Amino acid sequence: MPTAEFFSQFGIVAFKDFLDSSLCTELCDAIRDSSRQKGMIRNLDSAEDIVDEQIKKRSEVSKPKNELVERVTGKLNKLRPLLEKSYNLKLTGVQPPKFCLYETGDYYRFHIDAGEYKNIGEYATPRKVSAIVFLNEESQVPMEGKYSGGNLTFYGLMQKEAFSKFGLPLVGEEGMLITFPPNLGHEVTEVTSGERYTIATWFV
């Protein structure tokens, strides 16, 4: 399965060891111990946020400890100059991070993070760079503290039409930050064992 280095040829920018192992463990513990709610999506007809488990099935923690949120947000903001150079964009900030838990059986079907859809909402239209931080590691076999399945899979990377419907899955590594254009189609496949901990956010 392709690693982050493979995806660099498609303009996807990764930062390995963005968070150290101890902070990843602390964040996983905070997510596990916090009250959670079902992940919601924007209904493009009504402009309302709804639960639709046909599309997204995961839990979200709106806010763990303030100190943890500030540490993560501070690290994200320090990356802005590098991302501006990599994507040739002017960035002004980062949206509040979402702390996500995918349990066994959870997934997020094919979607994009921003676009010209009617009623997509002000929260999505200014997004310029999507970012996902992996807080624990993927494993091909069930292992304590790791997860199987749950692949972040990208679509439309290859220009040939014959390959347009084929997704390329990325191997999740503890502490790695992966960034990509918000109009790039992607999904999270079903987690087959363990718990998958991530942070999702968007630079604007």
Domain boundaries, the chain: 4-203
Could you give the angle at which helices 66-78 and 80-87 cross, rounded to 10 degrees?
A: 40
Statement: residue 164 has pLDDT above 70:
no
Query: Looking at residue 49, what is its pLDDT?
Result: 82
Helix (H, G, I), strand (E, B) or coil at 38: strand
DSSP secondary structure letter of residue 17: T
Closest CA to 58 of 149, 156, 130: 149
pLDDT band at 102 (very low <50, low <70, confident <90, very high): very high
Query: If you average pLDDT over every residue of the chain, what do you get?
Result: 90
Q: What is the pLDDT of residues 64-99, one digit of tens each?
A: 788 999 999 999 999 999 999 999 999 999 999 999
DSSP string, 132-169: EEE-S-B-SS--TT-EEE--EEE-S-S-SGGGTT--EE
Q: What is the pLDDT of residues 125-148, one digit of tens each?
A: 689 999 999 999 999 999 999 999
Helix (H, G, I), strand (E, B) or coil at 109: strand
The rounded percent of the chain whose pLDDT value lies above 90 is 72
- Matching CATH number, 4-203, of 2.40.50.140, 2.60.120.10, 2.60.120.620, 3.60.15.10: 2.60.120.620
Statement: residue 121 has pLDDT above 90:
no
Could you give the angle at which helices 21-33 and 66-78 cross, rounded to 10 degrees?
A: 140
